[in-house]
């Protein structure tokens, strides 16, 4: 085995890790809702986002970065053919980003432990119908006053979650547990059927 080959592999390792984690996050979390082949587009989006994590030093910077990449998903990845609209909602696009960041930053401690510690309190909780229903049951007064008026008839549908409602959710999680809002994602695992 040549040293050039080994050095080439070492040079691509971080990109490979990001791409595989993007694939692993995208397919189970939102792959069936978004267009076939969208995972490759999502990987390209993630490869551009990861280096920008090093520049984050405040919650406002993180939210601005997050919004920028949610918009890239919305603008570049359509919904599946079975969907009424071919444009992803803010809720759908954010789920792919949030699941990736959960796996990549929190669980895998990437891009490094220092970045993880710094941005862990900023990470957003991935929303889905299971988590929404669980929060509704456990924080019913907040839900009825803050979310329900904006949710309409399809209150558990990510396709109906716009940016404003999405940030109401994230504000709630951050207020309840500032150190690691992602702890609310455990409710998803506990309440899956």
Q: Does the predicted model carry a pTM greater than 0.85?
A: yes
Q: Where are the domains of the chain?
A: 3-191
CB 69 within 8 A of CB 97: yes
Say what the pLDDT of residue 157 is.
81
Alpha helices for the chain (secondary structure H): 3-30, 38-49, 59-76, 90-101, 113-119, 129-138, 140-142, 148-151, 163-176, 186-191
Say what the pLDDT of residue 83 is.
57
Instruction: Identify whether 111 is preceded by a cis peptide bond (ω within 30 of 0).
Output: yes
d(CA 162, CA 126): 14
Say what the pLDDT of residue 66 is.
98
CB 190 within 8 A of CB 130: no
CB 75 within 8 A of CB 90: no
Say what the pLDDT of residue 189 is.
79
Instruction: Return all residues near 59 (Cβ < 8 A) that are at least 6 apart.
Output: 121, 122, 174
Residue 93: DSSP 8-state? H
Say what the pLDDT of residue 167 is.
93
Alpha-carbon Rg of the chain, whole angstroms?
A: 17
Across the 193 residues of the chain, what is the mean pLDDT of every consecutive 10-residue run? 78 85 82 86 96 97 98 93 74 95 96 97 94 85 78 72 90 92 87 69
């Amino acid at each position: 085995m040549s040293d050039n080959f080994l050095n080439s592999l070492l040079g691509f390792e971080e990109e490979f890790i990001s791409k595989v984690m993007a694939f692993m996050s995208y397919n189970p979390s939102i792959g069936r809702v978004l267009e076939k082949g969208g995972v490759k587009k999502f990987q390209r989006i993630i490869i551009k986002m990861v280096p920008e994590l090093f520049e984050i030093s405040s919650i406002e910077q993180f939210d601005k970065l997050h919004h920028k990449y949610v918009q890239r998903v919305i603008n570049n990845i359509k919904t599946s053919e079975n969907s009424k609209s071919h444009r992803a909602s803010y809720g759908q696009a954010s789920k792919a980003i949030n699941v990736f960041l959960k796996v990549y930053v929190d669980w895998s401690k990437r891009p490094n432990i220092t970045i993880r510690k710094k941005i862990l309190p900023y990470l957003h909780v991935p929303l889905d119908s299971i988590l929404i229903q669980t929060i509704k049951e456990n924080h019913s007064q907040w839900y009825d006053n803050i979310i329900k008026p904006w949710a309409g008839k399809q209150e558990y549908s990510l396709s109906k979650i716009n940016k404003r409602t999405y940030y109401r959710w994230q504000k709630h999680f951050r207020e309840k547990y500032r150190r690691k809002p992602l702890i609310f994602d455990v409710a998803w695992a506990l309440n899956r059927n």
